């Protein structure tokens, strides 16, 4: 992969997790998750339909698909958190995110229902995240595709990065195209 392609694909770099988060790092991650709906709305609310249907990179999703991907991904994440908090290290069910992004609700729906869903979901998720104890953050789930156990602390880090990652796809596209 060329450096330019890599930069378009990972505008903030690949996710890194060093095995634990300080309280300040955890608070920052929760803030990234909390603030996504407002930031996302700000970035897309004035885009035209043509702009919403522009891929953020060659072969990548459109802005519209990214908005709806947040819904799909973060609904799954919220459920994974709930499962990990109520079951003993459950094995979660992965989903085919690339195929989900090709469905009509992601490719053709207006972004407003997606923004509303992300807003409501993140409001609930934030309440949950802010109430987790240190012991609860060590609860886990198994992701069978990765053959890996994720603690909720690591998952908070993952989804905070996910928020910044896809938001940067949109903001960098807007910069490149002078929107």
Residue-wise pLDDT tens digits, 146-168: 889 999 999 999 999 999 999 99
Task: Please tell me the pTM assigned to this model.
Answer: 0.95
Residue-wise pLDDT tens digits, 27-74: 999 999 999 999 999 999 999 999 999 999 999 999 999 999 999 999
- Structural domains of the chain ordered from first start: 22-177 (1.20.120.450)
- Give the pLDDT confidence score for residue 1 in this predicted structure: 53
- Give the pLDDT confidence score for residue 161 in this predicted structure: 98
Burial of 55 (0-12, 13-18, 19+ CB in 10 A): middle
- Give the pLDDT confidence score for residue 22 in this predicted structure: 95
Q: How far apart are CA 27 and CA 107, in angstroms?
A: 34
């Amino acid at each position: 992969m060329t450096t330019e392609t890599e930069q378009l694909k990972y505008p903030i770099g690949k996710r890194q997790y060093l095995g634990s988060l300080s309280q300040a790092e955890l608070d920052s991650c929760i803030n990234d998750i909390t603030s996504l709906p407002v930031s996302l709305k700000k970035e897309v609310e004035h885009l035209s339909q043509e702009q919403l249907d522009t891929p953020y990179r060659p072969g990548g999703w459109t802005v519209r698909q990214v908005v709806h991907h947040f819904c799909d991904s973060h609904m799954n994440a919220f459920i994974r958190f709930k499962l990990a908090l109520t079951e003993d290290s459950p094995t979660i069910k992965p989903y085919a995110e690339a195929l989900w992004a090709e469905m009509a609700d992601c490719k053709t729906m207006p972004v407003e229902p997606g923004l509303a869903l992300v807003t409501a979901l993140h409001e609930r998720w934030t309440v949950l995240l802010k109430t987790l104890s240190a012991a609860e953050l060590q609860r886990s789930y198994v992701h069978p595709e990765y053959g890996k156990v994720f603690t909720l602390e690591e998952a908070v880090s993952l989804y905070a990065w996910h928020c910044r990652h896809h938001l940067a796809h949109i903001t960098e596209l807007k910069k490149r195209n002078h929107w």
